[in-house]
Amino acid sequence: MNAWLLVRTLEILCALSLVIQCIEYLKLQKHTQTKGVWSWPVQRADIPLSNPRILKFLDFIFLDDTHEKHLLLRLLVALSMILMGSHLLIAVFLFLSTLLLLIRWRGAFNGGSDFMTLVVLTGLLIAHVVAIFAGPEVGWSAGLWYIAIHAISSYFMSGWVKLINKQWRNGQALSIFLDSGLYGPLSAQSIFRRPFIAVLCSWSFIIWEALSPFALFNQQWALIYCLIAGIFHFLVFVFFGLNRFFWAWAAGFPAIVFSAGWRW
């Protein structure tokens, strides 16, 4: 598969993920303003910083009006990446902007999606910085491999954690998770409460995640793996409403496919 097509796909998927996140943040404005339940003056107390200059800067950035302008600018930059692609200034802005939002939410607003968003944006930044010194091909290779290693290792660790957990091996964990979903608790007649179905689903997740490194052996395997991952994340969205999760992880799929091909 053409490497530049994968780069462009990653930029578009990453930008779509950021657009969705920005819209969600903007819709939460009434709850994050000074009189809201998630106001900066309240959350500021949990930030482990003592430098008065940094705190003064953060107080300015997270003023209601300034924060809204920051989100609107982030939205416009993300939209521009969909239309025109990325460059160094865009990568630097989005990376620093994401760090500020992580500080605003005391580390994360939505753990898994925030983690993967930062990984993809870090890879984007690496690509453009390395490109200055070694050219775009080397730069994008470094950036995409960075993203792929993080994505694959996350799937791998998730699978092996499930493997050593008895509740996942015997299927009990599946119903526990689904009970806490949008449509939970599951009814007594739910198909997912049947032991055979629960064990089958659980082991499908375990095997798929634990064997994730094999996706890097062959580009066709990588495409199949990412297709299954997309279905998995879509089901997570359906059952738990985690739309951010789907788009943030989808943005990393082109990097996995590229790394499996390992050529330009």
> What region does 106 belong to: left with phi over 0, alpha with psi -120 to 50, or beta?
left
pLDDT of residue 43: 86
- Number of Cβ atoms within 10 Å of the Cβ of 16: 17
**Domain parsing of the chain, residue ranges:** 3-261
In this prediction, residues 118-133 reach a mean pLDDT of 98
CA-to-CA distance for 152 and 179, rounded, in angstroms? Answer: 28
pLDDT of residue 181: 77
pLDDT of residue 161: 94
Is the pLDDT confidence value at 46 over 90?
no
Rounded to two decimals, the pTM is 0.92
pLDDT of residue 18: 97
With cut-offs at 50, 70 and 90, classify the pLDDT of residue 262. Answer: low
pLDDT of residue 124: 98
CA-to-CA distance for 35 and 264, rounded, in angstroms? Answer: 53
CA-to-CA distance for 251 and 37, rounded, in angstroms? Answer: 31
pLDDT of residue 49: 72
In this prediction, residues 34-38 reach a mean pLDDT of 86
**Cis link prior to 136 (omega < 30° from 0)?**
no
With cut-offs at 50, 70 and 90, classify the pLDDT of residue 263. Answer: low
pLDDT of residue 92: 98
In this prediction, residues 142-152 reach a mean pLDDT of 97
